[in-house]
Amino acid sequence: MSAPGLSIVIPAYNEERRLPATLARVAAYLAPRGDGAVELLVVDDGSEDDTAAIARTAGARVLVHAQNRGKGAAVRTGVLAARGARVLVCDADLATPIEELPRLEAALDAGADLVVGSRHVARARVEVPQPWTRRVLGATFRAMVRVALDLPVRDAMCGFKLLRRETGQAVLPDMRIDRFAFDLELVALAHRGGWRVAEVPVTWRHVGGSTVSPGRDGLRAARDLVALRLRR
């Protein structure tokens, strides 16, 4: 069987409620590409609910972590296992709609190796903003990132990225961060490795029900940012 042109990797932790609608929407949007053109891959990161069973029922290829290791670890597992020539990483809540995929594909067609969907560049549209506490914490963290790291993008943390399979195979084995600052490490390593990184505007909306804790995970992300700075 020939390899698909596109793999979609969705990291999921306790997502039994949101995953059915997400997988149905993704499948419906990509159906015109034809059977075998797209691989849908869900990485169950140690869920305690029926995330894996629901994903299998929806026709996704499912990889399972025996215990929760973090979103970064789940993305790494999925991208390294993906068979598609191109790999889209997106969140289980589809905060960035799958319909934004062509914008990222156009940037890859133009020569990029890694394309980051962005909420913080011209023509980006935030339809439903985050609660003000998350916005303040996010702005503070982005300011810290600008000071600590020399990244070629403004919104490395956005969970909608498209990369060439060979880029993922080269960069991800060197990654060490398992949780939410993994986005920063991915962009930093790709940039330092000479891979072409692009940023394109996307539509984004806040979706409630996240398992992310701004306090706990914000502290982890700050710690990982310091570690990245020291490694650089």
- Domain with 157 in it: what CATH number? 3.90.550.10
Q: Which long-range contacts (CB under 8 A, 24 or more apart) does 45-50 make?
A: 45/11, 45/12, 45/13, 45/69, 45/70, 45/71, 45/73, 45/74, 46/13, 47/12, 47/13, 47/14, 47/15, 47/16, 48/14, 49/14, 49/15, 49/16, 50/16
Q: Which residues are within 8 A (CB) of 43 and not within 5 positions of it... i.e. 6 or more apart?
A: 9, 10, 11, 12, 62, 63, 64, 65, 74, 75, 77, 78
Collapsing DSSP states into helix, strand and coil, what is residue 196?
A: coil
Residue 167 lies in a domain: yes
Residue 87 lies in a domain: yes
Q: What is the pLDDT of residues 122-151, one digit of tens each?
A: 999 999 988 888 888 888 888 888 877 889
pLDDT for the residue numbered 216:
62
The domain total for the chain is 1
Q: What are the tokens at 210?
A: 């996240």
Q: What is the pLDDT of residues 147-168, one digit of tens each?
A: 778 899 999 999 999 999 999 9
Q: Which domain holds residue 141?
A: 6-231
Residue 102 lies in a domain: yes
Neighbours of 56 (CB within 10 A): 14
Place of tokens 């020291």: 230
Residue 42 lies in a domain: yes
Residue 1 lies in a domain: no
Q: What are the tokens at 51?
A: 């995330």
Q: What is the pLDDT of residues 99-113, one digit of tens each?
A: 999 999 999 999 999
Helix 214-231 to helix 182-192 angle (10° resolution) is: 20
State the average pLDDT over residues 50-79: 97
pLDDT for the residue numbered 227:
77
Residue 38 lies in a domain: yes
% of the chain at pLDDT higher than 90? 73
Residue 153 lies in a domain: yes
Q: Which residues pair with 40 in a beta bridge?
A: 8
Amino acid code (one letter) for 216: R
- The model carries a pTM of 0.90
